[in-house]
Amino acid sequence: MKLIGPTSTIDILKQYYKSSDGEITLTIKQEETRKRLEEAFTMLGNYHSMAEVQTILMKRHGCSKTQAWRYCNQAMSLFGNIIETNKNALRHFATETIREAIAMAKEQNNPVAMIMGAEKLAKINKVDEIDPDLPDFSHLESHEIKITIDPDITSALSGLLKKGTLDLDQLMNRVHHNASEAEIVNESNQTN
């Protein structure tokens, strides 16, 4: 697959990972970057913070803190944010564990434990919170938009509603006639 337009190393690496038949060949520098990004991504999953990963990358490759930061961010751009993925994985694991506990409470006919499990489930998945993405509907204002329709168009639409048919020839002739009668207004001569 040929990339169109100017391409960055990240664009080329994305295409490299998407192509299954080896149609993208990497330069030596691109291959080195690919290995460093894979290394950064792996370390992001194994260490506690991006700062730790940056420090290790700086020592291993003799690069600046800025370049190490770039490697981490490019790795997340290319492969996904492993930190968020880990949070989602933990949330999923906790959700499944609580669901199993609720099922056991149901088998034991323990409604109090079921309710407690449901509350924990709601809290973990944040359904007990007000959605911050929703707008405050009390601040919405109604707006009125007035549209003026040409009288010939209005007449044609009325005819369509009454008869169920529309004579497009007649409508086009009217529009053409009105256009031929239009005058050109020089905007520089108009006053505000």
Structure confidence at residue 185 as a pLDDT band (50, 70, 90):
low
Residue 48 tokens read as 């506690």
Contacts of 98 (CB under 8 A, 6+ apart): 117, 120, 121, 124
Is residue 115's pLDDT more than 80?
yes
Mean pLDDT value across residues 140-169: 79
pLDDT for 15: 85
More confident residue, 102 or 22: 102
Contact 171, 152 (CB under 8 A): yes
Q: Which residue has the tokens 């989602």?
A: 88
Lowest model confidence (mean pLDDT) among 47-51, 72-76, 100-104, 173-177: 173-177
Q: Which residue has the tokens 């999923």?
A: 92
Please say whether the dihedral angle defined by the alpha carbons of residues 107, 109, 110 and 114, taken in this order, is positive or negative.
positive
pLDDT more than 90, % of the chain: 28
pLDDT for 37: 93
| Eight-state DSSP code of residue 164 | S
Is this prediction's pTM over 0.75? no
How far is the C-alpha of 70 from the C-alpha of 102, rounded, in Å? 45
pLDDT for 126: 81
How far is the C-alpha of 51 from the C-alpha of 65, rounded, in Å? 9
